[in-house]
């Protein structure tokens, strides 16, 4: 499955609170996790559509090579 991204701290303090307490949802807010045969990679994305910079985290993009096996 390919999907979107989180803003990795850009919504401070909400993301900080979720990352450091039990208030976080069961799903990952950032990083890599493997569940069964599914790999999950959640990135912080590049930037906001209107504001071309990020606060609290780095901009990033991910390049994937998808094998048709």
pLDDT of the residue at 60: 82
> In this predicted model, what pLDDT tens digit does every residue of 23-65 receive, in sequence order?
455 556 678 888 898 888 888 778 766 777 666 677 888 888 8
CA distances from 9 to 1, 34, 62, 67 (A): 23, 22, 18, 32
pLDDT of the residue at 13: 55
pLDDT of the residue at 62: 84
Asked whether the whole model's pTM tops 0.85, one would answer no
Domain boundaries, the chain: 1-64
């Amino acid at each position: 499955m390919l999907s979107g991204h989180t803003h990795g701290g850009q919504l401070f303090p909400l993301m900080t609170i979720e990352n450091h307490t039990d208030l976080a949802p069961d799903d990952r807010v950032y990083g890599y996790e493997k569940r069964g045969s599914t790999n999950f990679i959640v990135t912080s994305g590049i930037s906001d559509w209107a504001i071309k910079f990020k606060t609290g985290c780095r901009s990033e993009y991910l390049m994937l090579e998808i094998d048709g096996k």
